[in-house]
Amino acid sequence: MGVSRQPLRRRWFTTSGADPNAPYQVFLFPHAGGTASMYQAWAATLPSSMDVRTLQLPGRQERLDEEPFCDVTPLLEALQEAFEAELDGRPYLLFGHSFGGLLAYRLSVAAEDAGIPLPTLLAVSGWAPGLRSSEELEAVAGMSDDALLARVAELGLMPEGTTLDPATLSTIMPAMRGDFLAAGSVKNDGAMVPCPVAAYCGTTDPILRPQDMAGWAELSTDFLGVTEFPGGHFYHFDHAAAVHHGLDRQLRRLATQV
């Protein structure tokens, strides 16, 4: 088992200047269609106390030759194995944005079920359980690439200013479509989060309101509140330093309670 897990560590999570002496491991989970490289600059400015790993799902960049997952159940099973292989005994934080928030949430629930160490903190950004109906998400299966891209732009689910040439478009659309289908396959079971939860969002996000994020209070016995930032769905790229400061502050506060 140990031999088979080594490739999973290299392929599912990317690292940049990993620091084994940092007090915390931090796992970043990008948005639907997102890549690890899109979060490279964002991850680079996190506090030095955080050893950062960013998820790279199949069907994008160096994993382009792999089929994207279109169902959340097998995706989470494979992701959980890779994730557990990354843990090295240090306390850890999960930060997920949009679709990544869904994955981070389900991994925190799975950690309790598997009896492995729980996250010190689950930080969820731009996503809340039950936010969109599975019927709408599943509808992408019948959309053309142009229609899906137009819908993504309409919902503000692509960073502002993003332009795609036909060659690039042909490489990213299968992964984006797969992520939406996976999100649509989720059954909202109301599973409780077994660790503290901090929520983050943009004040003008077109797919949710700050009060939607407050719904996390119903899924956690230790909800740390919602932090709002000016901006839309991708506010966190414009306010990276402030988000990082908030995460560091939460970790320091939680450390004093241990």
User: CB neighbours of 249 closer than 8 A, spacing ≥ 6?
Assistant: none
Q: What secondary structure does DSSP assign to 152-213, as a single string?
A: HHHTT-S-TT----HHHHHHHHHHHHHHHHHHHT-----PPBSS-EEEEEETT-TT--HHHH
Q: For 71-112, how does the pLDDT look when each residue is reduced to its tens digit (9 = 90+)?
A: 999 999 999 999 999 999 999 999 999 999 999 999 999 999
**Would the pLDDT of 116 be above 90?**
yes
* Structure-token match 């960073």, residue found: 159
Total number of domains in the chain: 1
Average of per-residue pLDDT across 60-81 = 93
Provide the token pair at 196: 């503290």
pTM, entire model: 0.89
- Where is 105: in which H helix or E strand? helix 99-114
Domain that holds residue 17: 2-255
pLDDT band of 122, cuts 50, 70, 90: very high
> What's residue 17's pLDDT?
67
- Where is 236: in which H helix or E strand? helix 235-238
> 162 with 142: CB under 8 angstroms?
no
CATH of the domain at 26: 3.40.50.1820
